[in-house]
């Protein structure tokens, strides 16, 4: 019988928050960051692994037979081989609901900046256009209100619900998309393709799975309005990035705001990094990371671990 848990946090530097001491007998080791190839070596003694983004693959699991729990310090679990965990009886838990305020605020920061053409206006000022104007204001760039427009939500978990609340406060109509390719449309939902065709703004809030990978590609951009704006604070792989570049350069859509890329960090480059357009905004996967949200995440992480040690299931994925 295990009387002492051995916890290893593989990427502690990804979480700027206070972690309380676990309420059970334990040993604790944390590493600021961990390269994927180091995971097995660092976890060989661990009964509980904590990871934010470090992959835990089948090979890692096979090399670490003492592992009983993988506590993911995030909502997405695409960095963990869930099938291998099921086969080996390794539990997996994740974080839920912590970003229901911070990510929606980031979504609306991007939406407002794009709809009111913030970057273009800043460029005009830097080029002394206003300073040389003959009247009190400029009309060089279009401005559009959110009020009265239509927002399409693809993904309707706690973050999607949070975005909906803000959208309704702005006086927007909200369409909640049914799953792509679904045979039936549930009450309160709208068919996926219809949402793409009707929405003035589309915001993505789906996890990255084999089903959602490449969810938005050339076909989907072709269905959108030419004045549509796409926001992605979910996962980079949900959108075909080459198709997005084409859609923006050809004005197939009006703009996009992204907080995620298909590979992070983008050490080998990414076509979106070079996309210097006033109708495209990119932030470095920070929508989730307000100090308040990170502390909520840290508290929930320890709640999950302590519940597991007590024999309770909490936020279990496997």
- Enzyme catalytic residues: 235, 264, 285
Separation between Cα atoms, residue 165 and residue 198, nearest integer Å: 20
Query: Rg for the chain (alpha carbons), in Å?
Result: 22
Residue 306 and residue 126 in contact, taking contact as beta carbons nearer than 8 Å: no
Tell me the two tokens of residue 46.
Answer: 């661990």
Contacts of 162-167 with CB under 8 Å at 24 or more apart are 162/99, 162/100, 162/101, 162/103, 162/104, 163/103, 163/104, 163/107, 163/108, 163/203, 163/205, 165/104, 166/104, 166/105, 166/107, 166/108
Q: State how far the Cα of 112 lies from the Cα of 203, in Å rounded to an integer.
A: 13
The tokens for 93 are 């838990």
Taking alpha carbons only, the member of 309, 298, 291 closest to residue 101 is: 291
Q: Are 59 and 36 in contact (CB under 8 A)?
A: no
Q: What is the DSSP string of 242-304?
A: HHHHHHHHTTSSSEEEES--SSSS-TT--TTTT---TTEEE--S-TT--HHHHHHHHHHHHHH
């Amino acid at each position: 019988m295990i009387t002492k848990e051995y916890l290893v946090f593989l990427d502690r530097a990804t979480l700027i928050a206070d972690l309380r001491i676990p309420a059970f007998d334990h040993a604790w080791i944390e590493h600021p960051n961990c390269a994927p190839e180091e995971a097995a070596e660092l976890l060989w003694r661990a009964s509980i692994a904590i990871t934010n983004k470090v992959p835990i693959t089948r090979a890692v699991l096979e090399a670490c037979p003492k592992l009983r729990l993988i506590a993911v310090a995030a909502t997405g679990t695409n960095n963990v081989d869930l099938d291998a965990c099921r086969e080996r009886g390794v539990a997996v838990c994740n974080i839920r609901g912590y970003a229901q305020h911070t990510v929606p605020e980031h979504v609306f920061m991007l939406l407002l900046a794009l709809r009111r053409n913030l970057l273009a206006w800043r460029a005009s000022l830097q080029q002394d256009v206003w300073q040389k104007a003959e009247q009190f204001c400029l009309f060089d760039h279009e401005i559009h209100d959110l009020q009265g427009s239509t927002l399409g939500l693809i993904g309707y978990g706690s973050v999607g619900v949070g975005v909906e609340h803000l959208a309704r406060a702005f006086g927007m109509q909200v369409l909640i998309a049914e799953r792509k390719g679904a045979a039936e449309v549930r009450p309160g939902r709208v068919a996926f393709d219809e949402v793409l065709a009707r929405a003035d703004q589309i915001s993505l809030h789906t996890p990255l799975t084999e089903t959602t990978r490449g969810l938005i590609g050339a076909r989907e951009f072709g269905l959108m309005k030419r004045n549509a704006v796409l926001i992605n604070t979910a996962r980079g792989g949900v959108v075909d990035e080459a198709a997005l570049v084409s859609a923006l350069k050809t004005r197939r859509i009006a703009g996009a705001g992204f907080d995620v890329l298909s590979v992070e960090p983008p050490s080998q480059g990414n076509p979106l990094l070079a996309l210097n357009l006033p109708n495209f905004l990119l932030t470095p996967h920070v929508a989730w990371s307000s100090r308040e949200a990170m502390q909520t995440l840290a508290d929930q992480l320890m709640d999950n671990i302590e519940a597991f040690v007590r024999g309770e299931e909490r936020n279990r994925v496997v």
